[in-house]
Homo-oligomer: A and B are copies of this chain.
Amino acid sequence: MNKPANIREVARRAGVSITTVSRALNGYPDVNEETRKRIMAITEEIGYIPNAVAKSLVTQESRSFGFILSGLIRGSKHTIIQECLCGIYAFAREVGYEVTMFPVDSAMQLKKSYMQFSREHNLAGVILQGIRTDDEYSREVFSSDLPCVLIDIPADRNRVGSVSIDNEAASAAMTDYLLSQGHRNIAFVNGKEAAAVSTQRYEGYVSAMRGASAPLRWDYVLNGEFDEEIAYREALRFLPEHPEVTAAYCASDLMAIGVMRAAAELGIAVPEQLSVTGFDDIPIAAYTTPSLTTIQQDFFLNGYEAARMLYDIIQGKDVPHRKKTPHRLLERNSAGSIQGGSPLRT
């Protein structure tokens, strides 16, 4: 394993100092065009590649976004983090940055804090996703002066940015949609309580129901933990107890799928007897029978915008630290109108 050529070797062959080589390669003006050509030729010839590690060490910057995320788990059924990662990379490429991932597994004993990770790698800034706000490590990041933007987590501090859809508005929109179809008794299957998006979506549901003077009953909101199986079991229990509810609005597609399975098992027809709607628009949502009416999020865009905001913060630009990405209500086939002539389940 012979060592790769370094700048010294190039300098030696070109008969110049390493300073000149460095300047030539980095496009500084004060180097003779002829010398530059010669250096370039030698660089090419011996396959010299500047060592980014050494460069990063001396310049004290890494041109690298950190991406700290939880939820990179085996057997995941959605592509959310994939999309997000892809968006981050898309922007990073535009500005010549790289990205360094740090997946944190809730199961793993976290011996390394986010901060430690960031400093070890001279990260220019970090993007956090799927991280709990009450986590001790995130506090450490918030209170540091490391540029930082959050995805799907509201930022309380002013130094840190955040990007997400307007969860409350989207949630209200979905509830309103169901209401407009004639539904009154609408159950809401929520996700984990700890997640900020859960409370926001709950708020949206509540305000829409209240606005329409629809029955707002505590026993109409179920806890599905963002889990297909749990939502399935909850629905299995809930649906027979409440034949008067004609719609179940779920805070995630996976939970909606669980609810639809429960309905199928109970002999309840979707959407004829029960409308079911989801949230996220994961790939599966388009392929279920019936296909899922849901709120579409652009997770790619979330990643892209988060990276862009982080970049602006790093550059010291004065930029709004709150970005709402667009959402869209995707009307498919899992929800229908009550006036459509379909009998209520009662």
Residue numbers of A with Cβ under 8 A of B are 1-4, 49-54, 56-57, 60, 62, 72-79, 81-83, 85-87, 89-90, 93, 99-101, 103, 105, 108, 115-116, 119-122, 145, 257, 283-284, 287-289, 300
Contacts and interface: CB of A to CB of B under 8 A. Distances in A.
Given A2-B145, A53-B62, 7 more contacts: A75-B300, A78-B79, A81-B82, A89-B103, A100-B100, A257-B287, A284-B287
Nearest to A51: B120
Nearest to A77: B283
Contact of A101 (B60, B62, B73, B99): B99
Contact of A72 (B82, B108, B121): B82
Contact of A89 (B54, B56, B72, B100): B72
| Total identical chains | 2
Contact of A284 (B56, B105, B284): B284
A59 B90 CA distance: 32
B79 A93 contact: no
B72 A85 contact: yes
A287 B283 CA distance: 11
22 contacts: A1-B145, A50-B120, A51-B57, A51-B120, A51-B122, A52-B121, A53-B53, A53-B57, A53-B120, A54-B57, A72-B82, A72-B85, A74-B83, A74-B87, A74-B90, A77-B79, A77-B283, A78-B79, A79-B79, A100-B100, A257-B287, A283-B284
Contacts of A87: 74
A62 B121 CA distance: 11
Contacts of A288: 287-289
Nearest to A289: B289
A85 B62 CA distance: 23
- Which of A79, A87, A257, A288: most chain B Cβ within 10 A? A79
- Which of A54, A74, A86: most chain B Cβ within 10 A? A74
The 6 closest A-B pairs by CB, nearest first: A52-B120, A289-B289, A77-B283, A49-B119, A74-B300, A82-B82
- Which of A83, A108, A120, A121: most chain B Cβ within 10 A? A120
Contacts of A284: 283-284, 287
A54 B119 CA distance: 11
B86 A72 contact: yes
Contacts of A56: 53
